[in-house]
Structure 1
Amino acid sequence: MGRVSAMVGVGLAVLAVAGCSEGVDGAAAPTSESSVSESAGPTSTSAQGSGSGLPHSGAPAVADPLPESALPSDPCEVLTPQQVKEALGEGATEGERRDLDGLGPGCGWGNKKTFAVVQVGFDTVNRQGLSAAYANAKPRSAIFREVGPIEGFPAVAYKDSEDDHRCTVVVGLADEYAISAGISLSAEKEDAGIDSCGPAERIAATVVGNLKDRAGE
């Protein structure tokens, strides 16, 4: 159990990379400790002429935002027990609340037998949305690619290497906020050479689909 809890914690720290961003005026926004200590480069504000400065750093605009009210107060409610079981197999744990300062609410699930982990975070604190991933995760990640649209929303996936068993997917639900879905593969799937970003994208799509249902869309 301790190893699963530790893996969930590491996974959520990785998600925080997308959320620690410089504000559009150059001042540092509140950040959460992450596994990467290097400072991200300055955020570009010239891409858009809007007063908010969003989107920036090359991130696409969200054409049809999802109401923020669709996000549940408890992030552990964003996946059903059956959906967690489908992602992690028999023996999946119940969701454990893992909020991150400077990012937002989060929840993690694990499997004690396989050590696979799923984590979901709501990037609602720094009000940078998907732009934060472009500004921070892109320069820090060996692999960073656009994988959207996911359920109609722009999205990116990033990880440290092609064979990394961990991958994070960030979906922009509005210019100001996003959700993050990450996965750490079981040893069996890692040995089989499965791309960790594939399952992460599927989790992200499930989460966004659930949120759209909550919004009545």
Structure 2
Amino acid sequence: MNLLVVSQCELLISLLDELLKNTKVKMKVIKSTFEFDDAYTYTARSDSFAFIIDIQSFQGEDEIDWIHFKRISRNTVLLVDTKYQNPEEILKVQQAVIYLSNPLLSIGNINSNKPQNEIKNDKNSLDLYLNDEVKFDVFDLCIVKNGEKIPLTNLETKILLFLYKNLNKVIETDVLMEKLELSTITSLYVHIKNLRNKIEKNPKSPGILRTANKKGYMLLINP
């Protein structure tokens, strides 16, 4: 599957980049002006091309053309609006992108803790299990622990996604800070502490989100 993303929104691009790691989807990002007629160039190459188009990139009558293209095309077309006003709207857009693009992202492929037949039958392939009692619900952006849903912030979600894609590997502190665009290590400590309070049985003695030799962090999940 090939995915064409037309947007200048770094938040959207970063989210998709994280989700597409360890999948077979190849993403191409276009930040410059994208002429509607260019879309047919990509569809002519393959039916497997999908589009995520930021309507903030539209010019003139583009919106009408894209809506028509979406109706008649055999290709998957997702239109999103990244004109965010507040954190709640940001989360809503992210949830929509994750949910609607799920067939493209195949995020269930990285759910290594669940048997293959269980993954196929699972109604929600966006559940990432941290252990038998705790799961990360990517669609609802929350932790489900002992049946209770615990909301996650945007940064906590990014931390979990990044560490899950690098499961059982040490991610150095400076790498994690750069990925999260944090300017101070104190800020990272606060987010890690809050995240542990949500996922750990005993946050003071973490068994899932571990500190590795004071150099970084790792998400430790036993098979």
Normalising TM by the smaller chain, what interval?
under 0.3
TM value normalised by structure 2? 0.25
> Which structure dedicates a bigger proportion of its chain to helix?
2
TM value normalised by structure 1? 0.26
Q: Which has the higher contact order (CA 8 A, sep 6+)?
A: 1
Larger radius of gyration: 2
